[in-house]
Chains A and B, each alone.
Chain A
């Protein structure tokens, strides 16, 4: 809450004349002055004057001072009810949330819903007790991994959490943002299910169905042509584009819903959409094995790498979400189990490294069949990144992989006709880096330089917005 940004010249620019009072930090005095002036410059009588008065009043309240910072003049309203009230509210909330959580952990979403509703209905809406319950649920239950979609949606509905400007968003913006991401993922998944089940079936229906298919059944769901064979080599361009779009969308929501998909299905569909992956075997320097690596063997390797990528994505997601010992998730790799402080420092250092223009993100070396492109420099700084995007002979890196687990290499051999490799990473905070270009012509060592194309730093917001309103 602050003055009109277009008028904000910094603290001290309060129009005290408009308020008709000497500069003061006393909220009660400010309020009385405002109300006295209101009679002369009410909004119906003098809209311009009123806006000036209001701007002055809000600016004055926002000034640091003894009583400032209280909500813009609430006359009769006092936060919280009786003095001992908030302690009671806290204890009752704890008990209610504990009961809710017990049902949740026992896999009884209906019981959890009943418990929550009973606890909330016992209090007036907007009361301290109801808010205490909401805060606890947000902090301790809402982002748990083992939370059924049904219970999750009920919580969102009950607490009105879709509201980007509501209480939860104000009280805990970071958590709320993650919550909204989770909600978006759930909404997307539900839309996917609807698409797959729709009787007439839209153009996406078979792909949605394939994506949701249980282990081993995906291939049968794809439109004729088959994933690997067929006279035309598989899906047509449009089909591939659709499938790729779905997979991209899944990737976007990956940390919340990826574990509900079958790994083999995903690998199969990825290959159907993008063609055989370029990732190679570590034993490629063996001429025979490399040059004659059959499609099948490569597929097998890429399957393993992809699966590991998926599993580590899940591990990374768990680092974000609360980890519970009673969850049903599988435990994959180690990343994400590190204590927060160490991870944060390592991540920051890694990120700083990646920003150095002269530090190349790939290592290039000659290899049988072309040039070996190794992403080792990126992997060494895996603490800072969640995804690696790369592409060959394209300005936009089209292939996306989650950062593989420790010890898993990421490299491929670029054939002689390939002249450019582009790379981009997604940082832990969700932003995308700039695209780095590495021309391969005659490369026997470092990169030929980096390009400045693409968005700088992947700023999440419309850049240089002068934000007078801090949310």
Chain B
């Protein structure tokens, strides 16, 4: 669930952000120095702009489905504002007609006006080979993510006044091996070293652990983001945080509630559910418009009992329906039911009873929904903690991890251990022949990582010349119900199977990335093969090409961000507006574009103010 990014009133009038490089940020950041700080216990050490002990600063990035954030550790957690002064940057990427990439709030506006050139929620495709079209080009999910990371990186460099070369990036705990690799790739494509990938609920626990040093005992982190749901159970105390178990659902998040509202609206208003590819009123795809309405209505319900929704249709009518909290509760029920299973699994695996939990911590924007908060309270029989902003808590944790990596003196007492979220194993067969492959676990889920484990297997027949080692992740008994991670062939000296033993070793590093090696004794010598890449990963040559191709694409400059947002919002509202307000808006937009072309700061500022005013009027008279 996204908090609406950008306040139209604040952005314009500043012209190019006065921050630039090497100076203090123009606007007061919403968080960071001067706002909430880490609890007293962990302060200490002098404030060092360039990082502790001369280390260049490592940034922590929360790469979310709906919003992304970047934060640093400098004697405490500081959230980095973007060029618009916001700490939340929508995870939306758009291709401009000039061929430049737009990231963030402006891109989000373009989701309505140029949907074919804009992509959102691509986190759901990380780890797959799927290509998402932006105009005539197409990109993989990690490439789109790398644009977002590039934007965050330049925000951080502007804020810190120093170059940034390394980042910690968070991922849902339930992300697979391939998804984690893709996330790391995304950072590398943005020119950053990514030595650490951190699980989101663990990050949330880190943030809370520092903010609330008192209160030992087991903690359950309930992290419902835009697209994923994670549950982690941790033991916390004295600065030591140990993850005991983790579980989740990679396809459950705030966006699913929006989908449900869209479907409900179609039924309630008596219209067919809009197809994302069909043209709508004023040239906007109806589906995108409906989605905005649904999301807005959902957010309004946080503070009101009902929310009216209206959708102008191609034939001139307007479909309407009123969403009440009761109706929303009914709509959300099947989604809420899906919350139970990961929670049960995490608690059961950790052998901790729900009554024994010291705290329940909420993280992720979707936990703002009263519906979700109520459900969490009901499930655990207590009020969950939400003292830190749920949108920010994961990024804060990432910053703490970055601080740990930098060996920040203030964090010397903090230790974090995490676990493998999935069981990892190899395929073995029963008996001979075509019996479906069984999963032989090598590393069981919730094993503390880093971990290295070995299993010994034999070939299924005598005198085989090679054995195929197939690696899987998952909890099902048969490999066909699990996820394939890769496979390789190990050459063998032909022997009877009883005399042939193959040692398979799994090494799972602290980032949750797997290496598999196998060796077989063959006449005294051993052979070893290692899997490093997932099945959908590009080859090194391909990776080089993509890197070069991506580096050639330019991002819009930070300094122009505010103006860009103004224009994008103007375009969107122009399409949605009717009557005299529309005409006035069109004029203001034209004047602004002309002023930008003229490049005179004074004219630009004045035109921007006019446009902002016209936007306010148009939004107020909107088709509600």
- Identify the A interface with B (CB < 8 A): 4-6, 35, 38-39, 42-44, 47, 50-51, 54, 71, 73-81, 124-128, 130-131, 160, 162-167, 180, 184, 431-432, 454-455, 458-469, 471
Query: Pick the contact of A5 from B218, B355, B454, B501 — CB < 8 Å?
Result: B454
Kindly report which residue of chain A lies nearest to residue B352, judged by CB atoms. A77
Tell me the smallest distance from the CB of A15 to a CB of chain B, in Å. 15
Tell me the smallest distance from the CB of B463 to a CB of chain A, in Å. 13
Tell me the smallest distance from the CB of B149 to a CB of chain A, in Å. 22
Residues of chain B within 8 A of A127, CB atoms compared:
353-355
Residues of chain A within 8 A of B348, CB atoms compared:
126, 131, 166-167
Residues of chain B within 8 A of A184, CB atoms compared:
478
Stretch at the interface among B5-13, B361-369, B424-432, B520-528: B424-432
Kindly report which residue of chain A lies nearest to residue B412, judged by CB atoms. A39
Let me know if B279 is at the binding interface, CB within 8 A. no
Contact B475 A165 (CB under 8 A): yes
Residues of chain B within 8 A of A78, CB atoms compared:
353, 356
Query: Pick the contact of B477 from A125, A164, A460 — CB < 8 Å?
Result: A164
Tell me the smallest distance from the CB of A431 to a CB of chain B, in Å. 8
Contact A76 B450 (CB under 8 A): no
- Would you give 22 A-B contacts (Cβ < 8 Å), ordered by A? A4-B453, A4-B454, A74-B352, A75-B216, A75-B217, A75-B235, A78-B356, A124-B354, A126-B352, A160-B344, A164-B477, A166-B348, A166-B475, A180-B477, A459-B431, A460-B431, A461-B430, A462-B460, A464-B501, A465-B440, A465-B457, A466-B456
Contact A39 B413 (CB under 8 A): yes
Residues of chain A within 8 A of B196, CB atoms compared:
44
SS class of chain A's interface: helix, strand, loop or mixed? loop
Kindly report which residue of chain A lies nearest to residue B239, judged by CB atoms. A39
Contact B441 A469 (CB under 8 A): yes
Residues of chain A within 8 A of B405, CB atoms compared:
44
The docked-state distance in angstroms from the alpha carbon of A39 to that of B417 is 11
Contact A163 B353 (CB under 8 A): no
The docked-state distance in angstroms from the alpha carbon of A455 to that of B430 is 10
Contact B356 A76 (CB under 8 A): yes
Let me know if B551 is at the binding interface, CB within 8 A. no
Let me know if B449 is at the binding interface, CB within 8 A. yes
Contact A465 B455 (CB under 8 A): yes
Residues of chain B within 8 A of A44, CB atoms compared:
196, 404-405, 416, 510
Residues of chain B within 8 A of A467, CB atoms compared:
455
The docked-state distance in angstroms from the alpha carbon of A50 to that of B448 is 10
Contact B355 A39 (CB under 8 A): no
| A75 touching B456 in the complex, CB below 8 Å, given contacts A38-B240, A43-B449 | no
The docked-state distance in angstroms from the alpha carbon of A116 to that of B345 is 18
Nearest 5 Cβ contacts at the A-B interface: A126-B347, A76-B217, A125-B344, A77-B352, A124-B354
Residues of chain B within 8 A of A469, CB atoms compared:
441, 444
Let me know if B452 is at the binding interface, CB within 8 A. yes
Tell me the smallest distance from the CB of B361 to a CB of chain A, in Å. 15
SS class of chain B's interface: helix, strand, loop or mixed? mixed
| A455 touching B416 in the complex, CB below 8 Å, given contacts A44-B405, A166-B345, A180-B477 | no
Tell me the smallest distance from the CB of B561 to a CB of chain A, in Å. 35
Since A6-B453, A164-B475 are in contact, a sample of 7 more A-B pairs with Cβ atoms closer than 8 Å, ordered by chain A residue number, is: A43-B417, A43-B449, A77-B350, A78-B353, A164-B439, A462-B460, A465-B440
Let me know if B303 is at the binding interface, CB within 8 A. no
Let me know if B59 is at the binding interface, CB within 8 A. no
Contact B457 A462 (CB under 8 A): yes
Query: Pick the contact of B344 from A50, A79, A126, A432 — CB < 8 Å?
Result: A126
What range describes how many residues of B lie at the interface?
35 or more
Residues of chain B within 8 A of A458, CB atoms compared:
431
Tell me the smallest distance from the CB of B495 to a CB of chain A, in Å. 13
Tell me the smallest distance from the CB of B411 to a CB of chain A, in Å. 10
For window 93-124 of chain B, which residues contact chain A by CB distance below 8 Å?
A: none
Residues of chain B within 8 A of A74, CB atoms compared:
218, 235, 244, 350-352
The docked-state distance in angstroms from the alpha carbon of A44 to that of B400 is 13
Contact A5 B510 (CB under 8 A): no
Tell me the smallest distance from the CB of A69 to a CB of chain B, in Å. 12
Let me know if B451 is at the binding interface, CB within 8 A. yes
Let me know if B560 is at the binding interface, CB within 8 A. no
For window 237-256 of chain B, which residues contact chain A by CB distance below 8 Å?
A: 237-238, 240, 244
Kindly report which residue of chain B lies nearest to residue A248, judged by CB atoms. B434
Tell me the smallest distance from the CB of B325 to a CB of chain A, in Å. 20
The docked-state distance in angstroms from the alpha carbon of A127 to that of B454 is 34
The docked-state distance in angstroms from the alpha carbon of A458 to that of B432 is 8
> Which among A71, A75, A79, A455 has the greatest number of chain B C-beta atoms within 10 A?
A75
Let me know if B275 is at the binding interface, CB within 8 A. no
Q: Mark B483-518, 1 if CB is under 8 A from A, else 0.
A: 000000000000001100101010001100000000
Residues of chain A within 8 A of B450, CB atoms compared:
43, 47, 50-51
Contact A79 B453 (CB under 8 A): no
> Which among A4, A6, A43, A128 has the greatest number of chain B C-beta atoms within 10 A?
A43
Residues of chain B within 8 A of A167, CB atoms compared:
348
Residues of chain B within 8 A of A5, CB atoms compared:
453-455
Let me know if B423 is at the binding interface, CB within 8 A. yes
The docked-state distance in angstroms from the alpha carbon of A6 to that of B418 is 22
| A35 touching B354 in the complex, CB below 8 Å, given contacts A162-B475, A464-B458 | no
The docked-state distance in angstroms from the alpha carbon of A81 to that of B455 is 38
Contact B353 A39 (CB under 8 A): no
Residues of chain B within 8 A of A165, CB atoms compared:
423, 441, 444-445, 475
Let me know if B358 is at the binding interface, CB within 8 A. yes
| A35 touching B238 in the complex, CB below 8 Å, given contacts A75-B218, A76-B356 | yes
The docked-state distance in angstroms from the alpha carbon of A466 to that of B502 is 11
Contact B218 A461 (CB under 8 A): no
The docked-state distance in angstroms from the alpha carbon of A471 to that of B497 is 25
The docked-state distance in angstroms from the alpha carbon of A35 to that of B340 is 32
| A124 touching B381 in the complex, CB below 8 Å, given contacts A164-B439, A455-B431 | yes
Contact A126 B417 (CB under 8 A): no
Kindly report which residue of chain A lies nearest to residue B346, judged by CB atoms. A126
| A51 touching B451 in the complex, CB below 8 Å, given contacts A76-B235, A78-B356 | yes
Contact A42 B343 (CB under 8 A): no
Query: Pick the contact of B428 from A79, A432, A461 — CB < 8 Å?
Result: A461
Tell me the smallest distance from the CB of B177 to a CB of chain A, in Å. 18
Q: Mark B352-388, 1 if CB is under 8 A from A, else 0.
A: 1111101000000000000000000001110000000
Tell me the smallest distance from the CB of A242 to a CB of chain B, in Å. 14
Kindly report which residue of chain A lies nearest to residue B343, judged by CB atoms. A125
Query: Pick the contact of B456 from A39, A79, A125, A464 — CB < 8 Å?
Result: A464
Residues of chain B within 8 A of A43, CB atoms compared:
416-418, 449-450, 510
